[in-house]
Chain A
Amino acid sequence: MILKAKVYNKVFAFKSLKEVMSKANEEKSGDELVGIAATSASERVAAKLILSNLTLEDIYNNPVIPYEEDEVTRAIYDGLNLRIYQEIKSWTVGYLREYILEHKTSGDALLHISRGLTSEMIAAVAKLMSTMDLVCGAKKMRIQSHCNTTLGVPGTLAFRCQPNHPTDNVEGIMAALKEGLSYGSGDAVIGINPVEDNVETVTRLLETVKNFMTKWEIPTQNCVLAHVTTQMKAIEKGAPVDLVFQSIAGTQKANDAFGVNKEILDEAFALVQRKGTATGPNLLYFETGQGSEVSLDAHLGVDMMTLEARTYGYARNYRPFMTNNVSGFIGPETIYSGREVLRADLEDLFMGKLHGLPMGIAPCYTNHMKMDQNDQEMGTLLCAMAGSNFFMGVAGGDDVMLSYQDTSFHDDASTREILGLRPLPEFEKWLEKMGIMENGLLTERAGDPSIFDK
């Protein structure tokens, strides 16, 4: 394993694969905060050069966190298809990049080798890729999943309607839900972040939304994004849950801080299979983001991008219905600017898809970052071109409960119309029946939440 490189007249030597992985990253404030970022532009290129020459076997033999010490590493290695890995282990990371981009390599071929790639291999190749590389690679892969309806159908773009309210007021939540539906947002899921994480609140919100879905025959899925253990208690008490949600991260230590582990997730998956309301087989909804391990002081000296890939390696064993990335949510100490968010979003979308995950992206931002609405809109269009399965949908782009900005109902409708994408098929039929959409375009009636209050 060669860990030394010469960039013109300068020689750079690194101590470990872990160091090469972090220094090969594009600039992000979180890697700098931890003190593992490249200290010059030339050092960054040297790390990329070394990485391009390493084989997949080198990476397999040097996990960034040892198998014995971390549940996430174990999930990645135990879930691997060793036969496929054996066939490709002599490839260099540089060759893998070109293989991904070749015309003759199809999306299905990528999803095949995916089964023999560890998360670190996937992170490594993404570190060699530019913005357009990431879009070209991600766009090839189409990953479908099914809960009540099918997400990821070619030519479609779906949205989570996110009608949050600062006090969980049911009337206020229903108002924002009606607004979102009237713009065609909500085919991925109707998902509410509750303020109060308790069984009573979660049950009340689940029942209210489920009744509304039944009354208006809306083909979608239902979810309240409380802690997984709260949702499990609600299911046991009979609450109508289509999808179980949980935030996860790329180290066991960070997952401990989130209050989750393999045992709890296994139990949650088994429970929603037995007592949930949805068809399945995909019944989980994960949220992830670069930087969560840094903000929880659980990074173990590994860079944010590699940890994010490991999170996907952990997630893929559960065959989730949707995985949403919120790298822009955490703050300037991990991701500082619009430029850094855009880079992270494209990396995450590509890495998630190469793990075989049904990915969605939230190109979101908080008010203490150097990012604005223009950056968010660029990120949204880029990720839609790269084949994101879904985005969020927030009234006017302003989440009044979580205090951050995400894609608006307007952005949802615009992105579909700009790129000629359609809602999920069943949902489009419903929109037509409601008079909201015609031939894939919003009608005059769209955008009026009072269509549900005739």
Chain B
Amino acid sequence: MAVANNELEKVIIQSVLEELAKKGLLSTKSKDHVMSAAMMGTPLHSDDSSDDMVTFPSLDEMQISNPINADAVKAMKKSTPARIGIGRAGTRPKTMSWLRFLADHAVAQDAVFLDVSEEFLNNNQLMSVQSAATTKDEFLTRPDLGRRLSEEAVKIISEKCEKNVQVQILIVDGLSSSAIEANIPDLLPSLMQGLKSSGIKVGAPFYVKYGRVWVQDHVAALVKAEVIVSLIGERPGLGTAESLSAYMIYRPDEKTVEADRTVISNIHKGGIPPVEAGAHLADVVKQILAAKASGVKFNQQK
């Protein structure tokens, strides 16, 4: 009987909240809060006209029932991005922590397995070429193919790209298409402007699909630029799928190794924001041009 009353009570509360929301007496924000709270017990049914959404509750919400020291738990959660203080259902995670984990993994997998969209390339006026990998699976299992260009790409680059420029910029999907779509619209103009305002001659940036870092060496051999800058998607973590790295190399040849590259990583809105990163990269490229070296050799000259 008590259970039935409890259920009835929830239904009544929900109906009242829905009515209030319809009449505009309840803000969207508090509606969302009600929705997430409702997930803990009974689902809220919405009609077609409603813009109600189910969302994840705030990470700050206390998930442990009756902690001995709630303030200590809060302080601990602030000290680390690790998933702590998340409570449990028996020995298993609570529903919301489990679904949040699934969501973070899904976002990471989508970043890896979905391609940068045609629409994005058109909007950013990026010519597109492909590495020697023919599919995403081949790209993931054959690192050697992602390091060189397809025959068609060699032809296109040889015909269309300006040769002997000072800087050639490549946009490379790498392991995150989301990193490209999230950062390039702010990063690329900022970098181009930084270089052009110093009178540096820059080739038209283009996109390499299924590319790895070393593909820049193959491009360098074709366009004969002094410095190649690759803006490439990093392997996503559960924390962010939008992190991007910039790899810079000065006149690579067959003897070039990893240590010859200058790397700036962690470019995303929660790390080095893209606009800032663009300005910073322009400065680094200028220094590399002046030093006529990148990587360890460049660091030794500083």
A interface, CB within 8 angstroms of B? 29, 32-33, 163-166, 169, 171-173, 175-176, 178-179, 183, 332-333, 336, 366-368, 372-373, 395-398, 400, 403, 405, 408, 410, 413-414, 417, 442, 445-451, 453-454
Contact = CB atoms under 8 A, between A and B. Distances in A.
Given A400-B239, A447-B88, A405 B79 contact: no
Contact of B105 (A172, A332, A336, A373): A373
Given A29-B141, A372-B105, A414 B67 contact: no
B175 A368 contact: yes
Contacts of B104: 398
A446 to B, nearest CB: 8
A367 B235 contact: yes
B101 A175 contact: no
Given A29-B141, A33-B142, A453-B72, A448 B64 contact: yes
Given A373-B105, A396-B97, 11 more contacts: A169-B79, A175-B80, A175-B84, A332-B140, A333-B140, A398-B83, A400-B81, A403-B239, A442-B88, A449-B72, A450-B73
Given A175-B80, A405-B238, A453 B140 contact: no
B256 to A, nearest CB: 16
B93 A396 contact: yes
Contact of B82 (A332, A400, A405): A400
Best-buried of B69, B70, B83, B235 by chain A (most CB within 10 Å): B83
Sort A-B residue pairs by CB-CB distance and give the 10 closest, nearest first. A396-B83, A172-B80, A175-B76, A403-B237, A453-B72, A450-B69, A367-B108, A413-B91, A395-B82, A179-B84
A454 B67 CA distance: 10
A442 B81 contact: no
Contacts of B69: 450, 453-454
A446 B109 CA distance: 33
A185 B288 CA distance: 49
A163 B112 contact: no
Interface in B110-124: 111-112
Q: Specify the main secondary structure of chain A where it touches its partner.
A: mixed
B84 A396 contact: yes
8 contacts: A33-B142, A179-B76, A183-B88, A367-B108, A367-B111, A410-B92, A450-B68, A451-B68
Contacts of B88: 183, 410, 442, 446-447
B57 interface: no
B87 interface: yes
A367 B76 contact: no
A417 B69 CA distance: 27
A403 B105 CA distance: 11
B101 A373 contact: yes
B86 interface: yes
Nearest to A442: B91
B141 A165 contact: no
A333 B143 CA distance: 7
Interface in B139-198: 140-143, 175
Contacts of A332: 140-141
A447 B73 CA distance: 11
Given A29-B141, A454-B69, A449 B239 contact: no
A375 to B, nearest CB: 12
B175 A396 contact: no
A18 B87 CA distance: 51
A164 B83 CA distance: 11
Nearest to B77: A175
B274 interface: no
Nearest to B68: A450
A448 B62 CA distance: 11
A366 B235 contact: yes
Contacts of A368: 112, 140, 175, 235-236
B273 interface: no
Nearest to B111: A367
Nearest to A414: B91
A163 B82 CA distance: 8
A416 to B, nearest CB: 8
B12 interface: no
B105 A396 contact: no
Contacts of A33: 141-143
Contact of A448 (B73, B82, B105, B140): B73
A396 B140 contact: no
A131 B112 CA distance: 30
Best-buried of A169, A414, A450 by chain B (most CB within 10 Å): A450
B85 A367 contact: no
B102 interface: yes
B212 to A, nearest CB: 11
B141 A336 contact: yes
Nearest to B94: A410
B67 A397 contact: no
A336 B112 CA distance: 14
A366 B83 CA distance: 17
A400 B142 CA distance: 27
B238 A172 contact: no
Best-buried of A169, A183, A373, A410 by chain B (most CB within 10 Å): A410
Given A333-B143, A410-B88, A450-B68, A171 B97 contact: no
B168 to A, nearest CB: 27
A405 B84 contact: no
